[in-house]
């Protein structure tokens, strides 16, 4: 299944579980995409547009009639008028206690397998990045050495206060992403050196400018670092094609870099439709 986090919190026995069981051609979501439909709310998404409206209507008809299960075979172009034009099979099933147990087990497994991101520095940009990553399918940890710097962040973000955060680089799991934006250039350089030295990071990014990168590069090479290792450093983070340097803008651009680095080849698309929704996505 392809579920948003904690869908089970919105699902009660008797709600309708709507799941894509087959997807051929161009479709708005992948096989396994799941949503829950109750009388007054929905959680998750199977892609939005007319497909989703139609399935919600059918699910609520089932709730009203007591029908327990139905399967729909839907050509998106001819029947739904969606330009993606693929074909999907949708299972609609009244959720039982066993379904809730399965969803909880799935959510725990999915959460444990999420790509890990370590953010170093809870300044304006670090906090903005944590906020941007909170709804995405990552295990995100924010690390800072200051009291109170991480207060008020979403529950999805793990916050750790460390006197010397370089230790967190050494103990991070393989394939982790490191985003470095502390309050100290010297600490940034130490963190970047440690992250690059691992050789197994999915992403190593450091906030700064071309000048900061050049200074780090000079010291890195002077200390015996190799240019091919240095090439794995992203600095400045967020790219250089947007002139706006507000923290929220840098955070959004960096979040996009992380999505491409960590999810780009996986085909995973669980980053849509999280939590209770009042509206719907645009048609595919």
Q: Where do the domains of the chain lie, and which CATH numbers do they carry?
A: 7-110 (no CATH), 114-263 (3.40.50.720)
| DSSP tag of 2 | B
pLDDT at 281 over 50: no
| DSSP tag of 76 | I
**In terms of pLDDT, which residue wins out, 141 or 87?**
141
Q: Which band of pLDDT confidence, cut at 50, 70 and 90, is reported for residue 10?
A: low
Q: Which band of pLDDT confidence, cut at 50, 70 and 90, is reported for residue 280?
A: very low
pLDDT at 241 over 80: yes
Quote the CA–CA distance of 43 and 276 in Å, as a whole number.
Answer: 5
Quote the CA–CA distance of 252 and 259 in Å, as a whole number.
Answer: 11
Quote the CA–CA distance of 258 and 271 in Å, as a whole number.
Answer: 13
Model pLDDT, residue 180: 98
pLDDT at 272 over 50: no
Q: What angle do CA 97, 103, 107 make, to 5 degrees?
A: 150
Q: Are strands 233-234 and 203-206 parallel, antiparallel or unpaired?
A: parallel
Q: What kind and span of H or E run contains 132?
A: helix 124-133
Cα 115 to chain centroid, rounded: 9
pLDDT at 106 over 90: no
Model pLDDT, residue 9: 55
**In terms of pLDDT, which residue wins out, 271 or 82?**
82
pLDDT in tens, 38-49: 888 887 788 888
Q: Which band of pLDDT confidence, cut at 50, 70 and 90, is reported for residue 67?
A: very high
Model pLDDT, residue 273: 32
Q: Which band of pLDDT confidence, cut at 50, 70 and 90, is reported for residue 14?
A: confident
Model pLDDT, residue 12: 61
Helices then strands, each counted (H, E), the chain: 8, 12
CB proximity list for 275: less than 8 A, separation 6 or greater: 4, 10, 43
- In DSSP terms, 24 is beta-bridged to 87
Model pLDDT, residue 270: 37
Mean pLDDT of all residues in 58-66:
94
Model pLDDT, residue 129: 97
| DSSP tag of 206 | E
Q: Which band of pLDDT confidence, cut at 50, 70 and 90, is reported for residue 264?
A: confident
Q: Are strands 87-94 and 69-75 parallel, antiparallel or unpaired?
A: antiparallel
pLDDT in tens, 159-214: 999 999 999 999 999 999 999 999 999 999 999 999 999 999 999 999 999 899 99
Model pLDDT, residue 278: 30
Model pLDDT, residue 274: 28
**In terms of pLDDT, which residue wins out, 71 or 48?**
71
Do 242 and 249 contact (CB within 8 A), yes or no?
Answer: yes
Q: What kind and span of H or E run contains 72?
A: strand 69-75
Q: Which band of pLDDT confidence, cut at 50, 70 and 90, is reported for residue 266?
A: very low
Model pLDDT, residue 36: 86
CB proximity list for 93: less than 8 A, separation 6 or greater: 16, 17, 19, 68, 69, 99
Distances (CA, A) of 212 to 131, 188, 190, 216: 26, 10, 13, 6
Characterize 123-149 residue by residue with b for buried, 16 or more Cβ atoms within 10 angstroms of its Cβ, and e for exposed: bebbbbbbbbbeebbbbbbbbbbeeeb
| Most confident listed range (22-31, 131-140, 269-278) | 131-140
């Amino acid at each position: 299944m392809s579920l948003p986090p904690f869908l089970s919190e919105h699902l009660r026995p008797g709600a309708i579980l709507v799941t894509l069981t087959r997807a051929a051609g161009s479709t708005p979501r992948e096989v396994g995409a799941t949503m829950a439909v109750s009388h007054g709310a929905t959680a998750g998404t199977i892609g939005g547009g007319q497909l989703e409206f139609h399935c919600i209507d059918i699910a609520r008809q089932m709730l009203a009639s007591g029908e327990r299960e139905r399967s729909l075979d839907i050509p998106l172009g001819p029947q739904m008028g969606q330009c993606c034009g693929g074909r999907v099979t949708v299972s609609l099933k009244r959720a039982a206690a066993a379904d809730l147990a399965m969803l909880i087990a799935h959510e725990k497994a999915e959460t444990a397998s999420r790509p890990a991101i370590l953010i170093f520095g809870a300044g304006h940009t670090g906090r903005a990045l944590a906020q941007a990553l909170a709804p995405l399918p990552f295990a995100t940890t924010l690390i800072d050495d200051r009291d109170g710097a991480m207060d008020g962040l979403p529950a999805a973000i793990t916050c750790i206060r460390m006197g010397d955060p370089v230790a967190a680089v050494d103990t991070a799991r393989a394939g982790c992403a490191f985003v470095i934006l502390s309050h100290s250039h010297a600490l940034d350089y130490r963190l970047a050196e440690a992250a690059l030295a691992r050789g197994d990071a999915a992403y190593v990014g450091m906030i700064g400018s071309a000048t900061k990168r050049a200074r780090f590069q000079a010291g890195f090479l002077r200390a015996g670092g190799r240019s091919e290792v240095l090439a794995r450093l992203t600095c400045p983070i967020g790219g250089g094609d947007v002139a706006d340097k507000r923290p929220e803008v840098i955070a959004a651009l960096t979040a996009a870099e992380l999505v491409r680095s960590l999810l780009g080849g996986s085909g995973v698309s669980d980053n849509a439709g999280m939590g209770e929704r009042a509206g719907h996505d645009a048609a595919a």
